[in-house]
Amino acid sequence: MNAHPHRIALALLLAATLGVASRAAAKGWEPASYGLNMSAFGTSEAFPGSVGSGPDRGFDPVGSLSSALRLSPMTKLGVGLTGGLHVQQQFTRANYGWIGVNSNLRRNRTTLTMEAQYTPRRNKFPTDPEEGGPYTGYELTLGGRQNVGQRARVRLEGTVDREDFFPPFSLRDGVGRELYGQTVFTPLKGIDLRVEGSFSHDQTVSRKYVKDTHWLGGGGVWSDSLWRLDLSARSGVRRYTDAILGDSNFQRRDQWIELRLRGGRALRPGLAANAGLTFENQTSSRVDRNYSAGTFTLGLEWTGGGK
């Protein structure tokens, strides 16, 4: 698949965002805000369900820069630039970096959002010749958020992503589309309850990797001036719809459940610490894709600038 149009589009989008951000010191623009998230992780399965997977640990540093412009008393435009790295100690072939741009337009109780991300080179499953291989990734997400009354918020997002594998014209080349929705209800100050779900379709050159995925989840957040606690659960199903007899994914069906617990505490203005636990279990019609995996994260978040 030809990736040049996508690269040109992302380059133009990045240039436009940087051009707008460079005017942050001009009249009307808010002072730039910046942040750095340093997160370390340890996991029992670096590539769950992949042949040759095993324990690993590493880092996920992410940096951000943003500014905003008040267009009218009721309308505000925000733009931002983000970038990060994923570094593993054992499976170093899985290391990669990414860069992204984002924008949001808020008017009264409605917010429209845009996010674009570019990954120059990544290998999802370097230990599995069937599922793995390096690729270049592109992703674009458009969405909207709406406050409903005083206690509820709804969110809807659509995402298109593309993976161009190496060497060119690989059978793994594909385009994915996802629709995500979320509803948040606040019964009391400091407590948020949410229900969320997603449906996605991945279309690849080879029929054996074409799949549909859907999941449904819920969770709750409690927070005060210092502490924040987030507990959530998701359950989903993945089906390989186009594989035929003789393909390794013929009639394959994966069912999984994921539990997450995350806590954080403000240490001082602009600095917070966080820790998290994730457990995931998958049962598959392909017995070699059954797994259970646990991951622990520990991080520091620093923010500065702005008003």
Quick one: tokens of 222?
């409690």
The domain of 247 spans: 4-305
- CA distance linking residue 2 with residue 8, whole number of Å: 12
4-13, 25-34, 81-90, 234-243: lowest mean pLDDT where?
Answer: 4-13
Q: Which of 41-45, 281-285, 302-306 has the lowest mean pLDDT?
A: 302-306
CATH number assigned to the domain comprising residue 39: 2.40.160.40
- Looking at residue 4, what is its pLDDT? 52
Total domains present in the chain: 1
Average pLDDT over residues 236-257: 95
Q: What percent of the chain has a predicted confidence (pLDDT) above 90?
A: 80
* 272 bridge partner residues: 266, 301
User: What pLDDT score does 37 carry?
Assistant: 97
Q: Which tens digits make up the pLDDT trace of 278-293?
A: 999 999 999 989 999 9
Amino acid 6: pLDDT: 53
- Cα atoms in the 13 Å half-sphere on the side-chain side of 223: 14
pLDDT digits (tens, 9 = 90+) for 178-207: 999 999 999 999 999 999 999 999 999 999
- Closest to 190 (Cα-Cα) out of 222, 218, 232: 222
